Amino acid sequence: AQSVTQLGSHVSVSEGALVLLRCNYSSSVPPYLFWYVQYPNQGLQLLLKYTSAATLVKGINGFEAEFKKSETSFHLTKPSAHMSDAAEYFCAVSGPGGGADGLTFGKGTHLIIQP
């Protein structure tokens, strides 16, 4: 069984500061990892994904994440926060196949940007 743990249900940063959202996973097989963003009153939008290619993955809106197998982590970062980054962020893991594993989501981290 696979699982995802997001550390911190709420993270607050100042505009222009570094954004770091933490995600740790457990999986019995090499995972595929995703970060999704949910803006208020909207559905989920894919930010980036790791699918066993480069360990540093670049996504939309200046976000990137690094897959670290030894730490079973896939933390999301952005060098400089913008007010428009305020949203809910979800880390998710999926197995590589062998059935409809679908996505297992973390509980989400609400990112607050302070002016």
Partner 1 sequence: EAQVTQNPRYLITVTGKKLTVTCSQNMNHEYMSWYRQDPGLGLRQIYYSMNVEVTDKGDVPEGYKVSRKEKRNFPLILESPSPNQTSLYFCASSSSPQGVYEQYFGPGTRLTVT
Residues binding partner 1 (CB under 8 A): 9, 31-32, 34, 36, 41-46, 49, 51, 90, 93-97, 99-103, 105-108
Amino acid of residue 94: S
Q: Which residues contact 42 (CB under 8 A, 6 or more apart)?
A: none
Cβ-based nearer residue to partner 1, 36 or 63: 36
Cβ-based nearer residue to partner 1, 13 or 48: 48
What is the length of the chain? 115
What distance in Å separates the CA atoms of residue 63 and residue 35, rounded to the nearest whole number?
10
CB of 108 to partner 1, least distance (A): 5
CB of 60 to partner 1, least distance (A): 12
CB of 32 to partner 1, least distance (A): 3
Structure tokens at 61: 């809106």
Cβ-based nearer residue to partner 1, 73 or 94: 94
Is residue 1 within 8 A of residue 31, CB to CB? The reply is no
